[in-house]
Amino acid sequence: MTQQLTIRRPDDWHLHLRDGAMLQGILPETTRHFARAIIMPNLLPPVVTAAQASAYRDRILAALPEGVAFAPLMTLYLTEDTDAEDVAKAHASGLVAAVKLYPAGATTNSNSGVSDFDRVRGVLEKMAEIGLPLCVHGEVTTASVDIFDREAVFIDTVLDPIRRATPGLRVVMEHITTRQGVDYARSGDADLAATITTHHLIINRNHILVGGIKPHYYCLPIAKREEHRLALRAAATSGETRFFLGTDSAPHIDSLKEHACGCAGCFTATNTMALLAHVFEQESALDRLEGFTSQNGPAFYRLPENSSTLTLEKTDAPARWPARILTGAGPVTVFDPGFAVYWHVHD
């Protein structure tokens, strides 16, 4: 028996596209299903200025498959030297949709991030004034804090003080991974939202470590205990408008994942929508999938919903996708949920 669900075309509110040969190889995996995406700026060198964001957007558009309509929503990488007026001009021109905060050293290519938050106070105040969202990688990098506690500590010691000191600042807690993250997102007003990834709805830390280390499940923020995964699933499928999809799909070539010091990131662009349909069906919440993927994010970012649609169909035959995407930079392994999925995606 088949089952069909047609929704507005989704958006991805947290996406890594990289650059060069990698960008050209993996961009079609997103544009096949998604109409827009918030593009992460952690390149080498990072996308710090409006001029750099404009040039990066041009490279993305040049890499689009022929006939594909896709809007990259650009971001600026917040540093302690970021110019508040440059940020304001980039926002006023429509070039950038958000500014990204990486605590220095938190994840891939984040060494240019912020160590002294007092030095970005002026930029944050300007962003609050003009309504430009701050997208936050919410982890402290203090060596003494356990990696599984870094999100909760960040909320208490960094995020909450920033929000209290900057009234009106619009914040997206990106890729939350804990019950504490869910609870804090729910404690805020309309200026606070949170994205949830596909892979954090599916894996917990056992998937990474039990039976041998699984490098393609290693990501930052790292997957936590099962209680946190269940809290994320409840939030994503709740229908609450403050939660929406940000895949954090993050490609690395296999030789850098399967490595003595493997890179962090799960590549989910290829199969996210089928996996989400599976998760939402398990939670008896298929009627809320469209809100999570296609409505809540545009509402927070003050953008219209997409007019085009996407159809998901469940059949008796399992969905198939390639084990890896072959790019000019090297092969990239596609996230494997570890179970059969019977949802298929049709444009």
The pLDDT of residue 103 is above 90 = no
pLDDT of residue 1: 59
Given the residues 156, 191, 248, 347, select the one marked as catalytic: 248
Mean predicted confidence (pLDDT) in 37-54? 96
d(CA 21, CA 30): 15
Residue of 297, 189, 188 lying closest to 236 (CA atoms): 297
pLDDT digits (tens, 9 = 90+) for 8-35: 999 999 999 999 999 999 999 999 999 9
The pLDDT of residue 270 is above 90 = yes
What is the residue type of 174?
Answer: E
Q: Give the gyration radius of the chain's Cα atoms.
A: 19
Domains: count for the chain: 1
121: CATH: 3.20.20.140
Range of the domain at 49: 3-346
Beta bridge partners of 111: none
**How do strand 192-196 and strand 171-174 relate by DSSP bridges?**
parallel
pLDDT of residue 206: 98
pLDDT digits (tens, 9 = 90+) for 134-192: 999 999 988 999 999 999 999 999 999 999 999 999 999 999 999 999 999 999 999 99
pLDDT digits (tens, 9 = 90+) for 312-340: 999 999 999 999 999 999 999 999 999 99
pLDDT of residue 108: 66
Q: Answer for the pair 264, 220: CB distance below 8 angstroms, yes or no.
A: yes
- Active-site annotation holds for 248: yes
